[in-house]
């Protein structure tokens, strides 16, 4: 997910048009900032994700959706 905005250890994040409020407390410092990508599990960011890798993964997911795959 990409961080949209941040307020302390909480953030609004989005991926593929879905927005969620997530916790950032598991990542430590420096905290992710708006524009950063994170891996989210059960409402918490658990890992920072390289922007190029995140964008490539999102593009592949969108391509699968466009071709009717439910993988």
Query: What would the pLDDT profile of 34-61 be if each residue is shown by its tens digit?
Result: 999 999 999 999 999 999 999 999 889 8
Contact between 43 and 22 (Cβ < 8 Å):
yes
**Residue 11: C-alpha distances to residues 15, 20, 52, 63 (Å):** 13, 8, 21, 28
Has residue 69 got a pLDDT over 60?
no
pLDDT at 61: 87
CATH class of the domain comprising 2-66: mainly beta
Model confidence at 32, in pLDDT bands (50, 70, 90)?
very high
Residue ranges per domain, the chain? 2-66
């Amino acid at each position: 997910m990409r961080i949209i905005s941040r307020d302390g250890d909480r953030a609004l994040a989005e991926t593929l048009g879905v927005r969620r409020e997530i916790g950032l407390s598991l990542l430590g410092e420096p905290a992710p900032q708006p524009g950063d990508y994170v891996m989210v599990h059960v409402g918490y960011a658990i890992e920072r994700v390289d922007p190029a890798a995140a964008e490539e993964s999102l593009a592949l997911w969108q391509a699968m959706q466009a071709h009717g795959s439910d993988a």
